[in-house]
Amino acid sequence: MSLAFDDQTRTLLQSFGFDLALFDKLRDQHASAQGSPSGILQGHITPPTADDISSLPSVGSSRYIELEERGRAAIAAGEIASVVLAGGMATRFGGVVKAAVPVHDGMSFLDLKLADARRAARATRGRIPVFVMTSFATHAVLDRLLKDVDDDWVEARVFPQFVSVRLDPSGDVFRGADGRPSPYAMGHGDLPFALRASGLLGEFRARGGRALCMSNVDNLTASIDPALIGWHLEGEQRITVEVTDKNPGDKGGAPARVDGVLQIVEGFRFPPSFDQDGIPVFNTNTLTFDADALDTPCELDFFAVRKRVEEREVIQFERLVGQLTAFIESAYLRVPREGPGGRFHPVKDPDELESRLPDILVALKARGVL
């Protein structure tokens, strides 16, 4: 079908990889599936076994030091990159670019991610490329902020994820108060596709890059850890997924076996009869990828997500990076969420930043980021 867009919308969509054929396909699929459960997995689903979840050796042990040295050698050799997911607008911070929100002493979320990369690179006299995935909503700001970030320790590059337009519940294009179609970014599952399209993944691999450490920009304690990198490399892992113990009220994906294949299963994909509380850990969305594995073509699903925009219900189609584990063998590493070694302190709103900042600062100071 043909969609009529105003010039401003057409320019934006063309700039960020809008795929009209995909849009039509997803809209038609959604229309034909109305009333059917969306995305619930079929097959035999079982919790992970104790052997499915690993842990790093005790900090300071001889084994831990071995892994740490292996990770440091890889950083020194230029084999490790950092990938930061920074496509989100901080609506709960007043609608600004979240990565640029000040966190501590004038430093933003993105500043602190860069400081972590510099710390890891400086410790090994290596250099770490930092690939920042933006969206149509954040690209211009982050491209400007990172334009001159290229020094002895880090090389910062931005690459945008893809864009589409929202639907209203009837399946028509949703238009905002300004009368124009309402754009949205299509989820962090865009990562492998957008990174390949940018050329950055190919360049990284061509110069000997082996692994990419991915984290959300708002999870500041998901820092670059040489011991974790060493564990990933020594085990020749394709994907390492960091999981952590659940607290009451935690929601999100978790490792499970689907027809025997260990993978991340998002919460909404478990059948209603499955007891998700029987899985004691959940996915932190901090993953380390083998560079070759991330370059492996996989057809990820798009899921219909219902949200509210301008006090109205909208539908958008998103794909999730964790679904790569359904196609690529993955390993699961249990990490702490509290204390100086904690690795899971996501910040979604100002109140959460205020409450979590003391713990975040303790961890960042312990690691030498601050």
Please list the ranges in the chain whose pLDDT falls under 70: 1-2, 34-38
- Do 277 and 369 touch, CB atoms closer than 8 A? no
Residue 179 region by backbone torsions, left for phi larger than 0, else alpha for psi between -120 and 50, else beta: left
Q: Please report the pLDDT score of residue 1 as a whole number.
A: 42
Residue 259 region by backbone torsions, left for phi larger than 0, else alpha for psi between -120 and 50, else beta: left
pLDDT one-digit tens code per residue, 95-114: 889 999 999 999 999 999 99
Q: How far apart are CA 360 and CA 114, in angstroms?
A: 15
Classify 308 as helix, strand or coil.
Answer: strand
The domain ranges of the chain are: 21-30+57-249+285-366
Q: How far apart are CA 158 and CA 295, in angstroms?
A: 18
Tokens representing 50 are 């104790």
Half-sphere exposure of 136 (CA within 13 A, CB side): 21
- Do 345 and 356 touch, CB atoms closer than 8 A? yes
- Check the CA dihedral 201-204-210-211 and report its sign: negative
Q: Which of 189, 200, 176, 85 is nearest to 138 (CA)?
A: 85
Q: How far apart are CA 237 and CA 347, in angstroms?
A: 29
CA distances from 37 to 16, 40, 158, 171, 243 (A): 31, 6, 37, 17, 27
pTM (2 d.p.): 0.95
pLDDT one-digit tens code per residue, 179-204: 999 999 999 999 999 999 999 999 99
Q: How far apart are CA 368 and CA 95, in angstroms?
A: 31
Q: Please report the pLDDT score of residue 37 as a whole number.
A: 52
Alpha helices for 77-138 (secondary structure H):
109-124
Q: Please report the pLDDT score of residue 88 as a whole number.
A: 86
Q: Please report the pLDDT score of residue 151 as a whole number.
A: 86
- Check the CA dihedral 166-169-173-179 and report its sign: negative
DSSP letter string, 184-222: EE--GGGHHHHHHHHTHHHHHHHTT--EEEEEETTBTT-
Q: Which helix (H) or strand (E) holds 69?
A: helix 62-76
What type of residue sits at position 122? R
**Domain 21-30+57-249+285-366 grouped into CATH 3.90.550.10:** yes
Classify 334 as helix, strand or coil.
Answer: strand
